[in-house]
Structure 1
């Protein structure tokens, strides 16, 4: 067991910033709902597939950092920290969603009933499934992972190579379930968390393995990306029942760690690093805020003279529109996050999550 505080891993910090940008981008792409976009545009299809499931990065990073920080793990302190920085903002953002997005439907129901749908029952169900706002499906699942941290800690003291390899095989066979089913999502992303722990435990070996087999690793990433891309346009490939999106992101994560490894030996970093570092620092508030901004921006565009842009079947136009949505959403989210922090100071972490 590690007894000395390990150094900060700058590459992981950068990847957290990348992950939050891509998660926001995937939701901005989702604004453009014309069913012909993917069929009509390889560009939009590529962006849609590449941006999808960067949640895997968040889970890998969480597992990686859990393994990295086992030297200071104490179960009571860990639970208290996660309650303050994860559960509390989840509750506060959910309250906003209930009041702003669901008030009309909830107010039409009786407050409590054991025989028919009720407001209380609907609220409890949404809290347990994270369905009150699209990105919040992640919260019940990650909270369950945090809840089993004593078990994960005991595993962290043993070799994780075998369980990590099994996990990478498992996520291909056990496809990502519907986002409204947190227990099944736990069965899919729990192994991803373990894979993140395994990568940290065997970091030097994995980096050397990638260095010695770089072209092969890039080939596997390309294969995991191209297969789901191609079978969007081909009737039958014989591999449709396998799920490559999560494995694709795991391999991309390992490749990114390899290419960014030089950051971990630098004392000074340039503007690009500082940008992604800032995005990483504010990633949790952005995660909680951004979908609200996306929905409000979508509503404003839908009610404006350029509403047809949202319904376009032109992939290039939709891609440009999604990038515009991304820039606007990130800018507004950062402004709101900093405003909340300025008003509530240290208490802001209970409302929208804390800065890293």
Structure 2
């Protein structure tokens, strides 16, 4: 294994540890499939009535669920850290994440640039954005992921890719976790999640604690699962009480929601471990397609909204049935598109759509 500056050598039994790390973790895959459902769910666009209890419940479930998506990224990063080599790592991330990001962005960028349809999150920060040159607008969109609501994640995760050697060094000196992680949690609580996720420096800082939490849970998953198996009733009670508190006090953002979602990462890790043999098989497929779903689904969110508004003569009324119909339509269309692209392009599909 290529060394990292200042990194300690792997302990005795490294080969055995590497083999263990390389094992296929079915419950982690199921968790990934579940998380991508949450990510799509929060993006369904409906006009909910004021004071809707259904909307409140759905906000509690879906808001800040990206914490779990980032958590899974950190978990898998540490899970594969035994074979880390920086150049190879960056090359693969460019091929399988950054390049698809550029490709997937082409249609929406053409629309934004040539029809001058500027997102509100951009004009709120830069009222004069329309007067910028097309080149300046293009650079801003690409480096901030501001051209489509879900794409802010790619510039953020790209920063984590660049920080990989630092994160690897921390993982190889695990005592550092006890210093760095609490500091990152405190920082996340202090700065909080901004309304504009395309504020890349702030967003990357906010989510870094979730990424490192994933790394920690990967490194110590065996110890955690021994503990969690013994105290699962208590752990379940905590998440139910937290959900009740969110509902009772109408909490859908802020430090409490951040902590609730961070705790949810650990809880669902336990849940999917306990249900490893009983989880629906389609979750594995969704996990395999997760990055492609993340990239593509919002195109269908927009299509479904446009068609729905033509049918209803205005914004689609927010209710559970309409949400379910829109959600299923978006998921089915997205997955079918991925399957068709994969069929047509084979292994090259990862460079096109990320899966």
TM-score band, normalised by shorter chain = 0.7 to 0.9
Work out whether residues 144 and 198 of structure 2, in 8 Å CA contact, stay in contact via their aligned partners in 1: yes
Does structure 1 retain, via aligned residues, the 8 Å contact 2:111–2:117? no
Tell me the secondary structure at the aligned position of residue 349 of structure 1.
Answer: helix
Structure 1 residue 276 displacement after superposition: 0.4
8 A contact 1:106–1:119 mirrored in 2? no
Give the conservation status (yes or no) of the 8 Å contact 1:285–1:337.
yes
Following superposition, the deviation at residue 75 of structure 1 comes to 0.4
For residue 263 of structure 1, report the CA deviation from its aligned partner: 5.8
1:12 aligns with 2:19: no
TM-score in terms of structure 1 length: 0.84
2:193, 2:206 within 8 Å by CA — same for their partners in 1?
A: yes
Report how far residue 94 of structure 1 moved: 1.2
Aligned equivalents of 2:236, 2:190: Cα separation in 1: 22
In structure 2, what is the Cα distance between the partners aligned to 1:241 and 1:16?
A: 23
Query: 1:86-119 deviations in whole A, cap 9, x for unaligned?
Result: 1001101111211245421189xxxxxxx95111
For 1:171, the equivalent position in structure 2 comes to: 188
Conserved in 2, the CA contact under 8 Å of 1:164 and 1:195? yes
8 Å CA contact retained: 1:93, 1:351: yes
Per-residue CA deviations over 1:51-110 (Å, capped at 9, x if unaligned) read 122211111111111111111100010000000011001101111211245421189xxx
How far does residue 135 in structure 1 lie from its aligned partner after superposition?
A: 0.4
Query: TM-score, structure 2 length as denominator?
Result: 0.84
Deviates more, 1:188-197 or 1:342-351: 342-351
Decide whether the 8 Å contact of 1:225 with 1:244 is kept in 2.
no
Q: Distance in 1 between matches of 2:178 and 2:29?
A: 24
Q: Does 1:253 pair with 2:254?
A: no
The Cα shift of 1:241 comes to 9.3
Alpha carbons 2:71, 2:210 under 8 Å: kept:
yes
Unaligned residue ranges in structure 1 (runs of 5+) = 108-114, 234-239
User: SS at 2:267's partner residue?
Assistant: helix
Q: Contact between 1:174 and 1:243, CA under 8 Å: does it hold in 2?
A: no
Number of aligned positions between the proteins: 325
Distance 1:72 1:97 in 2: 36
1:278 maps to which residue? 285
RMSD: 2.4
1:168 offset after TM fit, Å?
4.0
Structure 1 counterpart of 2:138: 123
Q: Return 5+ residue gaps in structure 2 as ranges.
A: 1-9, 119-129
The verdict on how the C-alpha distance between 1:241 and 1:75 changes in structure 2, with shifts beyond 3 A counting, is: closer
Deviation of residue 245 (structure 1)?
2.2
Question: Residues 171 and 247 of structure 1 are in contact (CA less than 8 Å); yes or no, is this contact kept in structure 2?
Answer: no
